Amino acid sequence: MRALIAGSGPTGLILGAALARRGHQVTSVDRDPGPTGDAWIRRGVMQFEHAHGFRPQVPMTLQAEWPAALNTWRKLGAHPVEAPNPAGSRQVVGVLSRRSTFERALRHAAEQQAGLTLRTGHVDGLVVDRGQVTGVRIDGSLVEADLVVDASGRSGRLGRSSAPDSGPDLDGDCGLAYVDRTYRLRPGAEPGPMVSPIAYMADFDGYQCLVFLHEAGHFSVVLVRPTADTALKALRFEAAFETACRAIPALAEWTHPDRAQPTSAVLVGGALRNVYRRQVGTPGLVAVGDSVATTTPTRGRGIAMACMQVIALLGLLDAGSDPATIAEPFGAWCDHHIEPWVADHIAIDGGMVRRWQGDDLDLSRPLTTDLIAAAVEADPRIGQHAGGYFAMTALPETLRPAEPLARAVYQAGWRPAYAPGPTRDELVDAIRVAVPAA
Ligand SMILES: Cc1cc2nc3c(=O)[nH]c(=O)nc-3n(C[C@H](O)[C@H](O)[C@H](O)COP(=O)(O)OP(=O)(O)OC[C@H]3O[C@@H](n4cnc5c(N)ncnc54)[C@H](O)[C@@H]3O)c2cc1C
């Protein structure tokens, strides 16, 4: 089969390499020519420089489908983290790496992959003959293919109408905005406080903080606020960001100048949406990765969801599905296994923003999964339902049976405690002193 993949991001390259390893003739096209030495400006892929956490689905997919890329990633410093599982053995729970290191590893391995051709160019649109996609136009020239894969990311629109009423099937503004900054631990310095083997994550009264540990002592500090909270927008200024880091005890430990030094400016995250798009349905075309679904980044689900999709698509092809009509069974799989994560995020984000703005829980409505899971602290029986949800090995609905337990906890007046640190109002006062004009 001749496969043409639009987009050489993580999804395009992992799928492309896996198809090439099965003997298919694969071309992956990206408008981005790739790195030149240390420099790599990923125009249109703003997340390239932003904090990333890597769930176990990512190394597991590479191990199964493209071990050379996993080896390259490790050689570039990526560090898989293991932890004990309930059965008493150890398992990988994540990988410490910067996103840029991950993409460099994939690009490097792709250049070596037999059967996979990397091409630089802009995919302008599809070529359709009698209702079937037969290729694409790249910078004006025609390239034929038996299967065209749209792996062009969150702005991917291949084959989709631009009519105003033809938007995504699910679409919710996260209501959250964030800024982050990268640092590196000084030689010999230990990481600061963690709440999991790969990250620190805490909710405060009106905002949220995350720290992702990456490879070789690199780490990212992320501050998340409701988009509507314009006073906290000032966190994009370096003086305000650093003031916040001094004021929040856990961040003060992580970023203390004796422990770490900044390696980037403060990076402002772009608009974030929870989006799910069904397959277009034109034979010869299939969409995968972020062009199908995007979710709020704070739970680090994006690349894991892309990997899950790649594995599902390959499974269908391996089982003999016709590539020309593969979007049909694959779309049904995505509707069942991917859409619920987007719907979950829309519900979680909406509730979180309302609570940050001072509302109490609305116990007349179904509890969102984050609230059900949080109540495990008050009722450990909830834990037996939560493991698969946290690991993304079971769908959000698997937490539903624990809802009555969680509801009882909240009805008795229990609420998740905020982490020790300034309230939103105190943080605003502190950063106003640092950046009076903001
Ligand atoms: C701020 C932020 C933080 C995130 N944090 C995490 C995290 O912690 N963990 C996690 O798992 N996920 C995270 N994600 C999600 C993750 O980054 C995405 O899921 C991932 O990038 C999806 O890969 P992709 O290959 O599908 O799309 P992309 O990475 O967007 O790649 C698409 C590629 O297509 C190319 N392209 C687009 N249009 C064309 C065209 N017309 N012609 C040619 N080429 C084209 C682009 O240049 C790009 O290289 C985060 C996302 C954001 C925005």
Summarize pLDDT for 166-188 with one digit per residue, the tens: 677 888 888 899 999 999 999 99
Q: Under a CB-based contact definition with an 8 Å cutoff, are residues 162 and 284 in contact?
A: no
- Pocket probe for ligand 1: among 30, 73, 148, 308, the residue whose CB has the most ligand atoms within 8 Å is 30
Closest approach atom of ligand 1 to CA 269: 1
CATH 3.30.9.100 in the chain: give the residue spans: 173-271+422-434
Given this model, what pLDDT does residue 83 score? 87
Kindly list the protein residues whose Cβ atom lies closer than 6 A to any atom of ligand 1: 6-12, 29-32, 44-45, 47, 50, 52-53, 122-123, 151-154, 269, 289-290, 297, 300-304, 306
Q: Whose CA is nearest to atom 30 of ligand 1?
A: 153
Q: How far is the CA of 290 from the centre of ligand 1 (A)?
A: 6
Q: Which of 92, 101, 104 is nearest to 35 (CA)?
A: 104
The closest-lying atom of ligand 1 relative to the alpha carbon of residue 124 is 41
Q: What's phi and psi for 419, nearest 5 deg?
A: -70, 155
Q: In the chain, what is the straight-line distance between the N-terminal and C-terminal CA atoms, in Å?
A: 57
Give me ligand 1 centre to Cα 69, in Å: 18
Q: How many CB atoms lie within 10 A of CB 39?
A: 6
* Ligand 1 centroid from CA 302, angstroms: 8
Running DSSP on this structure, what letter comes out for residue 367?
P
Res 162: pLDDT: 66
pTM value is 0.95
Which residue, judged by its Cα, is nearest atom 39 of ligand 1?
152
DSSP SS3 for 340? helix
158 CA closest ligand 1 atom index: 41
Per-residue model confidence (pLDDT) at position 85: 81
Ligand 1 mean position to 64 CA, how many Å?
A: 22
Q: Are 194 and 219 in contact (CB under 8 A)?
A: no
Residue with CA at minimum distance from ligand 1 atom 18? 302
Of all atoms in ligand 1, which is nearest to the CA of residue 178?
A: 1
CA distance 106 to 430: 42
Give the closest residue (by CA) to ligand 1 atom 31.
Answer: 9
Task: Provide the residue-wise pLDDT of the chain in tens; the chain has 438 residues.
Answer: 999 999 999 999 999 999 999 999 999 999 999 998 888 988 888 889 899 999 999 999 999 999 999 999 999 999 999 988 878 888 899 999 999 999 999 999 999 999 999 999 999 999 999 999 999 999 999 999 999 999 999 988 888 876 656 677 888 888 899 999 999 999 999 999 999 889 999 999 899 999 999 999 999 999 999 999 999 999 999 999 999 999 999 999 999 999 999 999 999 987 788 999 999 989 999 999 999 999 988 889 999 999 999 999 999 999 999 999 999 999 999 999 999 999 999 999 988 888 888 888 889 999 999 999 999 999 999 999 998 999 999 999 999 999 999 999 999 999 999 999 999 999 999 999 887 776
- The helix-helix angle for 57-65 and 67-75 (nearest 10°) equals 120
Which residue(s) pair with 419 in the sheet? none
Cα distances from 228 to residues 68, 139, 174, 199, 232, in angstroms, run 45, 40, 11, 26, 9
Ligand 1 atom with the smallest distance to the CA of 212 is 8
Tell me which residue of 241, 197, 190 sits closest to 217, measured CA to CA.
190
According to the model, what pLDDT value does residue 86 have? Answer: 76
Architecture of the domain delimited by 173-271+422-434? 2-Layer Sandwich (3.30)
Partnered with residue 184 across adjacent β-strands are 218, 261
Candidate of 31, 47, 224 to mutate for ligand 1, largest count of ligand atoms within 8 Å of Cβ: 47
Q: To test the ligand 1 pocket, which listed residue (149, 290, 294, 295) has its Cβ within 8 A of the most ligand atoms?
A: 290
Tens digits of per-residue pLDDT, 18-36?
A: 999 999 999 999 999 999 8
Closest-CA residue to 341 (of 382, 308, 385, 384): 308
Task: For residue 44, give the ligand 1 atom closest to its CA.
Answer: 47
